[in-house]
Amino acid sequence: MPEQKRLSLAGIGCGSRTRTYMKLAMEQKNRYRIAAAADPVKQRTEAVRDFAPEEERDSVRLFKDAASLLAEPRLADVAIIGTQDDYHYAPCRKAMELGYHVLLEKPIAKTLKEALELRDTARLLKRRVAVCHVLRYTQFYRTLKKIIDSGEIGEVITFNANEGVGAWHFAHSFVRGHWGNSKTSTPMIVAKCCHDMDILYWLMGRRKCLSVASFGELTFFTKKTLSSPRPERCTEWTTPVGEDPWDARKYATDDECKRWLGMVYD
């Protein structure tokens, strides 16, 4: 049998997501090869390079940021774009212009206009842009899809889906973390609910959406709710762990949280 052509990969923004995808790709070294990586944090590009088999590491090109990688002619078949929400559109567009197909982290872009522009560019240039709506690939949702498509439960009229964002995930990501400010990142309806909208659309197989609403408030996370002097950072308490609900040290013993933090921190 002829040897399968390996797809070469360039990682743009080598944080938690890109490293996860690169690591997974290297579980199938006969199908994928790491060609390049870009990130302002050098250790992250080096970590991507080190996923490659030893004999191929020297050929992995490392760049200090997306712009310098994308200033080169195309270095790989596929660009994996795993930068933060506010920096998806520009590298994705440029990568397509250079001839890359793209594995693009969600959300596609910050605005509908930009998302549609990326769609049109992909069509025009005949590039494939796969958006990382990863739920579609889980056993659970694939099974649901199979059941719905088989007609076994008849026509679907209503669908209720709740996503429980863990308390520590909420505080870490959506209060003080990357998505703590919708102006510099994206609001919840885009950052998190894009997965829900995608999965509902995919499961139901209907394109039409009549309206979408999103609401919420900080409630506990304001200066008004501070009843006693608090340390500057939620890891700097001097009181016994667990006495205050905002003491982040308590999560150091939570197994689920530890697993998750291990993924999002270097």
Ligand X SMILES: NC(=O)c1ccc[n+]([C@@H]2O[C@H](COP(=O)([O-])OP(=O)(O)OC[C@H]3O[C@@H](n4cnc5c(N)ncnc54)[C@H](O)[C@@H]3O)[C@@H](O)[C@H]2O)c1
Which of residues 51 and 83 has its CB atom nearest to ligand X in the complex? 83
What is the rounded CA–CA span in Å between residue 174 and residue 217? 11
What is the rounded CA–CA span in Å between residue 27 and residue 24? 5
Phi, psi of 61 (to 5 degrees): -90, 130
Alpha helices in the chain (DSSP H): 16-25, 42-51, 66-70, 89-98, 112-125, 139-150, 167-169, 188-191, 193-204, 255-264
Shortest spacing between CB 220 and ligand X, in angstroms = 24
Which of residues 8 and 84 has its CB atom nearest to ligand X in the complex? 84
Which of residues 13 and 187 has its CB atom nearest to ligand X in the complex? 13
Position closest to ligand X via CB:
15
Shortest spacing between CB 19 and ligand X, in angstroms = 8
For ligand X, the binding residues (CB under 6 A) are 12-17, 38-41, 44, 65-66, 82-85, 105-106, 132, 134, 178, 191, 264
Shortest spacing between CB 107 and ligand X, in angstroms = 7
Shortest spacing between CB 223 and ligand X, in angstroms = 27
Shortest spacing between CB 148 and ligand X, in angstroms = 22
Closest CA to 228 of 241, 250, 253, 247: 247
End-to-end CA distance of the chain: 41
Which of residues 122 and 199 has its CB atom nearest to ligand X in the complex? 199
Closest CA to 11 of 75, 55, 54, 72: 75
Closest CA to 205 of 152, 146, 160: 146
Which of residues 56 and 198 has its CB atom nearest to ligand X in the complex? 198
